[in-house]
């Protein structure tokens, strides 16, 4: 019986979540499986991979073949490196302590890189949010300036109309005494 480590889909439409399972190669994708090793959620950034590393290593050492996607996930989690080191221990090439120290060194560097990526993504999100906020503030300020300019133009136009309305009245008032003086001269 050929045994594969593969993904079994679950979750709703367009929001798939996968179970990492050990199953017979002849079984359907979402059908019977021998053991569930963990989950994989590609919807998060970075993708969430939760696998029982010890059980996955045991299945690999027993001859289970991972699919390409699961192989990439196992490599990401360090299970394939652990298998490589364990085979070296079984052949007598290195000691178990050396293998464990190499794996722990790799694990700490991998965790640092994952943490760095998460921090970088968080910082990029915060920068984008701040940039959008600054752009919105600038746009709102431009709107307020335009409204204030229109109000100032309206006040200036109203003042000009008021001045224009007062000017003919003032001319009539100044003409009235002269006209009355001219009228008196003609009568006399």
Q: Say yes or no: 86 and 111 in one domain.
A: no
| 57 and 31 share one domain | yes
Question: Is 32 inside a domain boundary?
Answer: yes
Across residues 148-166, what is the average pLDDT?
86
- What pLDDT score was predicted for residue 157? 86
Residues 9 and 86 in one domain: yes
Report which DSSP code applies to 14: T
Does a structural domain hold residue 188? no
Residues 62 and 122 in one domain: no
Q: Are strands 3-12 and 65-66 parallel, antiparallel or unpaired?
A: parallel
Whether residue 120 is contained in a domain is answered as yes
pLDDT tens, 13-67?
999 999 999 999 998 888 889 999 999 999 988 889 999 999 999 999 999 999 9
- The predicted-structure confidence for 96-153, as pLDDT tens digits, reads as follows 899 999 999 999 998 898 888 889 989 999 999 999 999 999 999 999 999 999 998 8
Same domain for 88 and 160? no
Is 72 among the domain residues? Answer: yes
Per the CB < 8 A criterion, the answer to whether 20 and 70 are in contact is yes
Instruction: Give the residue among 42, 48, 47, 35 at the shortest CA–CA distance from 9.
Output: 42
Residue 74 located in a structural domain: yes
Helix extents (H) in the chain: 53-61, 68-77, 79-91, 96-187
Confirm whether 149 is domain-assigned. yes
In this predicted structure, what is the pLDDT of residue 166?
Answer: 79
Instruction: Count structural domains, the chain.
Output: 2
Report the distance separating Cα 68 and Cα 74, nearest Å: 10
Looking at the fold, whether 87 and 148 belong to one and the same domain comes out as: no
Report the alpha-carbon distance of residue 67 to residue 37 in Å, rounded: 14
User: 161 burial class (0-12, 13-18, 19+ CB within 10 angstroms)?
Assistant: exposed
Q: What is the pTM of this model?
A: 0.64
- pLDDT for 176: 57
How deeply is 109 buried, as exposed, middle or buried, from its count of CB atoms within 10 A (0-12, 13-18, 19+)? Answer: exposed
Domain of 165? 107-171
Residues 66-109: tens digit of each pLDDT: 999 999 999 999 999 999 998 898 888 889 899 999 999 999 99
Judgement on whether residues 19 and 88 belong to the same structural domain of the protein: yes
């Amino acid at each position: 019986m050929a045994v594969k480590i593969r993904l079994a889909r679950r979750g709703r439409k367009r929001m798939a979540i996968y179970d990492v399972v050990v199953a017979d190669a002849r079984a359907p994708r979402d059908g019977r499986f021998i053991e569930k090793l963990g989950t994989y959620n590609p919807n998060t950034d970075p993708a969430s991979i939760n696998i029982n590393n010890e059980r996955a290593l045991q299945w690999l050492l027993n001859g289970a073949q991972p699919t390409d996607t699961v192989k990439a996930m196992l490599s990401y989690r360090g299970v394939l490196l652990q298998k490589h080191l364990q085979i070296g221990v079984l052949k007598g090439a290195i000691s178990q302590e050396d293998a464990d120290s190499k794996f722990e060194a790799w694990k700490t560097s991998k965790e640092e890189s994952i943490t760095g990526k998460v921090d970088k993504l968080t910082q990029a999100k915060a920068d984008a949010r701040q940039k959008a906020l600054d752009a919105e503030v600038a746009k709102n300020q431009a709107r307020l300036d335009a409204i204030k300019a229109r109000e100032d133009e309206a006040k200036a136009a109203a003042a000009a109309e008021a001045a224009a309305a007062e000017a003919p009245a003032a001319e009539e008032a100044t003409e009235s005494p002269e006209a009355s003086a001219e009228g008196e001269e003609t009568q006399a």
